[in-house]
Amino acid sequence: MRYIANRSSGKQGYAIAAAAQAAGADVTLISGPVDLDAPEGGDGDAGGNPRATCWRGSKPPCPPYIAIFAAAVADWRVANEGEQKLKKSETALPPLQLVENPDLLATISKPGEKRPPLVIGFAAETEHLIDNAKAKLKRKGCDWIVANDVSPSTGVMGGDRNTVHLLSRNGDDIEVDSWPVMTKEQVAVALIAHIAEHLLTKSLQANSEQANSVDSESIEDNSAEKPA
């Protein structure tokens, strides 16, 4: 049978799910068809397609706190899937019309009450890695982008090692944190640790702002109670 695909193995995404679960997170793994075992104890949905995934992702029963989009989902699909094998013809090439798949990352990144507080995408590039990743971060509206070079010479696509660059927003600027070559499991652990540190910092900031607000209200109340 004939189909259009890429060499993505799902190893990085599954490693991230396993690392998040090991760190104590409740994980839901939505996956395309892969030859991998999902982490034990987590919720999962393997073999899904982008259209169904987009519906599930935009209307979850419980909105996720963090959404990580590591899958190399196809940008296009065949407009009309053949019910039977397309036979080779000696007269002409069979027509092949493509239509665009739903943009999962851009859909989930849209502002709204169901948007996760932290949305992380991946940028698999073969040229101008950082520039293309910065453009994708702005275009998709997500918070972070994990960029990697998937040129055939790197062996990343389908391999066991990865070299990534973490791009994040800092006001109007985009910061780039380049990591060394690691196994995909090491990349996953480092990413989850970075997420945990980010969440801790945000929590401390929120607590500090709340405490300052309470102190300010207390000062105003005490001032109002003083006799003229």
The backbone region for 199, taken as left when phi is positive above 0, alpha when psi lies in -120 to 50, beta otherwise, is alpha
pLDDT of residue 73: 84
The domain spans of the chain are 11-225
> How high is the pLDDT of residue 202?
84
Q: What is the pLDDT of residues 51-82, one digit of tens each?
A: 555 544 444 445 578 999 998 888 888 888 87
Tokens of 2: 């004939």
List of residues 6+ apart from 51 with CB closer than 8 A:
101, 102
Q: Give the count of beta carbons closer than 10 Å to the beta carbon of residue 174.
A: 17
Q: How far apart are the first and last CA of the chain?
A: 89
How far is it, in rounded angstroms, from Cα 29 to Cα 19? 12
Would you state the pLDDT for residue 7? 78
**Token pair 């990349």: residue:** 187
Q: Is 49 a catalytic residue?
A: no
Supply the mean pLDDT for the chain: 84
- What is the architecture, at CATH level 2, of domain 11-225? 3-Layer(aba) Sandwich (3.40)
Burial label for 2, CB within 10 Å (0-12, 13-18, 19+), is exposed
37 three-state secondary structure: coil
Distance of CA 192 to the CA centre of its chain: 12
CA distance 44 to 31: 8
Instruction: Evaluate whether 42 touches 27 at the Cβ level (below 8 Å).
Output: yes
Mean pLDDT of 146-152: 95
**Higher local confidence (pLDDT), 153 or 42:** 153
Q: What percent of the chain has pLDDT over 70?
A: 81
Residue range 111-144, pLDDT digits in tens: 998 899 999 999 999 999 999 999 999 999 999 9
Decide if 160 contacts 11 (C-beta within 8 A).
Answer: yes
User: Residue 52: enclosing H or E segment and its boundaries?
Assistant: helix 50-58
- pLDDT per residue as tens digits for the range 210-222: 766 655 555 556 5
d(CA 161, CA 173): 29
